[in-house]
Amino acid sequence: MASISKYETKSGKVLYRVQVYMGVNPKTGRKQYKVKRGIDSPKKATLVAARLELAVNNGDLQAEPSKNVTFREVYEEWYSVYIDTVRESTWARTAGMFDNHILPVFGKMRIAKITRRDVQEAVKKWFDETTANYRRWYNYVVAVIDYAVEMEYMKDNPAKGIKLPRHDDLAGDKDENFWTREQLTKFFSCIDKRDDFDIFIMFRVLAYSACRRGELLALEWDDVNFKDGSIRINKTVTQGERGKQIIQSTKTAAGKRTVPIDAETMAYLKEWRHVQQRRMLVLGYNTLQPHQLVFANTKNGYHCLNTPGKRLRKIMDDNKLEPRISIHGFRHSAISNMLIAGVPITAVQRIVGHSDPTVILQTYAHVSEKEERAATNALADYMAQKTI
C-alpha cells in the first residue's frame, strides 16, 4: 500500500513524497520501504505510487538496497518511520536539528563511505560550537546509520567507535533558576494589578500551580473548577512543523492532573474572568463560548509561547530584580517552596505531574539560608551535649 504526503522545501516550493511498503526483511525482521521524493504534482505522485505498487506486487522492485545511497536519502527513509513513533513537536525539532547541523555535514556523503574519522571530526566541530547539544546530534547520526546497517546499506556503524568529548565544569556556582518566598513577593509588588491585571494573574497561576508555560497558555475556563478550587491540566501549547504553534497532550501520562489552587488565587481567577469578559466584549469577542482561553491575546487566540518570557524580562529589567530567572524558574520556585514548606514529596509529585519523585529531589532540592543555618546550629547543639 502506497502513501502520498505533501511537503515544502526551504524555498517554499510544494513537492510530494511517495512511500511504498515492501514487506519485512527476512534477515533483520524490520519493515522495508521504498521512498520517492521531489515529485512536483499530485498527479505524478499518484502515477509513481501506482507503478511502485505494481513493481512490488510483481516482485520487480529490487529489495537489495543500493550501495551508493547518500546519508540524506537514508535519513529520509529513517525519518518517514520515526515520525510515526513520536509527537509532532518532537519530530519537528528533530528535523530542525538535521537541517541545521547534521545534514550540512553528512547529507551528501555516500553512507557506506562514512568513516569513524568523519564522525569524530563532526562531533569535534559540534563540541566547539555548543555545550550539550552535540551529544544529541551525535545520537541521531548513530540512529540513522544503525538504520542503514539494518537495511543493508552498509555492514557496520562507524559512529559507535568514536570518543565523545566532554566540557569541564565551570568554576564557581551555577545560578539557581529559583526565587524564594521573599523574592516572589517583591516580584509581585512590581506589577500594577489595576492596569496589568492580566500580567499579574498569569504569573500568579504560574507561581502557585507549578504548571509549565505551555500548560498555562492552553488553559480554558472549562478547566477551572471554582467549586472545588482546582484547575485541570490535560494539554499544552507547543511548536510543531515549521514553528507553528499547536496543541498537544501533556508531556507524559502523569502530566494529566488536577491541581488544587489556594483560595486567594482562585479569587483572583474569578475576578480575572469578569475583567476578561469586559475587555473582550469591547473587542467584539464573546468569552462565554466553549473552549474560551483563560489567557488569550487581543484576537482571542493563543498567546505566543514567548509572551510570558518577554513579560518577565521587562519586569526584571524595569525593577532591576536579582537573581534573574526564566519562566521555567516559576515552576522551580513553586516546587522548591513547597518542599521547604514541608509538603510531602508524594503530594508535590502529583501536583507537578512527575512520574518519578527522585527527579523532583534531584532538580528542585533548594534549601533556604534560614533552614541551612538552623540545620548547622542543630548539629552544633547536638555535638555540644555532654555524655554520661
Convert the pLDDT of each residue in 210-248 to its tens digit: 999 999 999 999 999 999 999 999 999 988 777 788 888
pLDDT at 373: 65
Number of domain units in the chain: 3
pLDDT tens digit string along 60-80? 665 445 557 899 989 998 998
Q: Looking at the domain assignment, is residue 252 inside a domain? A: yes
Lookup: cell for 304: 505566543
Residue from 150, 72, 162 nearest 108 by CA: 72
Q: Identify whether the C-beta of residue 144 lies closer than 8 Å to the C-beta of residue 73.
A: no
Domain identity same for 197 and 138: no
Domain identity same for 217 and 254: yes
Lookup: cell for 254: 502523569
What is the amino acid identity at position 239? Answer: Q
Domain identity same for 14 and 92: no
Range of the domain at 216: 181-370
Dihedral over Cα of 246, 251, 255, 259: its sign: negative
Q: What is the mean pLDDT of the chain?
A: 86
Check pLDDT > 70 for residue 381. yes
Q: Looking at the domain assignment, is residue 380 inside a domain? A: no
Domain identity same for 227 and 259: yes
Q: Looking at the domain assignment, is residue 382 inside a domain? A: no
Lookup: cell for 67: 550501495
pTM of the complete model: 0.66
Residue from 64, 60, 59, 79 nearest 17 by CA: 79
CATH number assigned to the domain comprising residue 93: 1.10.150.130
CA distance 132 to 165: 10
pLDDT at 303: 95
What is the amino acid identity at position 292? Answer: Q
pLDDT at 87: 85
CA distance 324 to 364: 17
pLDDT at 174: 59
What is the amino acid identity at position 189? Answer: S
Tracing cell 540524506 back to the chain, one arrives at: 72
Q: Identify whether the C-beta of residue 180 lies closer than 8 Å to the C-beta of residue 368.
A: yes
Of 37, 56, 75, which one is at a domain's C-terminal end? 56
Local confidence band at 273 (pLDDT 50, 70, 90 cut-offs): very high
In the 8-state DSSP scheme, what is residue 218? T
Q: Looking at the domain assignment, is residue 113 inside a domain? A: yes
Q: Looking at the domain assignment, is residue 2 inside a domain? A: yes
Mean pLDDT of 125-146: 92
Of 125, 143, 172, which one is at a domain's C-terminal end? 172
CA distance 328 to 176: 11
Q: Looking at the domain assignment, is residue 378 inside a domain? A: no
Domain identity same for 77 and 48: no
Of 9, 29, 56, which one is at a domain's C-terminal end? 56
Please report the DSSP string for 14-63 in residue order: EEEEEEEEEEE-TTT--EEEEEEEEE-SHHHHHHHHHHHHHHHHHT-S--
Q: Which long-range contacts (CB under 8 A, 24 or more apart) does 97-104 make?
A: 97/133, 97/136, 97/137, 97/140, 98/140, 99/10, 101/126, 101/133, 101/137, 102/75, 102/137, 102/140, 102/141, 103/71, 103/72, 103/75
Q: Looking at the domain assignment, is residue 388 inside a domain? A: no
The DSSP element (H or E) to which 201 belongs, if any, is helix 197-209
Q: Looking at the domain assignment, is residue 375 inside a domain? A: no
pLDDT tens digit string along 95-128? 999 999 999 999 999 999 999 999 999 999 999 9
pLDDT at 366: 55
pLDDT tens digit string along 147-193? 998 888 888 999 998 988 886 655 455 567 889 999 999 999 999 99
Query: Per residue, what are the HEC states of 271-294?
Result: HHHHHHHHHHHHHCCCCCCCCCEC
Residue from 67, 61, 11 nearest 36 by CA: 61
Domain identity same for 289 and 220: yes
Check pLDDT > 60 for residue 335. yes
CATH number assigned to the domain comprising residue 190: 1.10.443.10
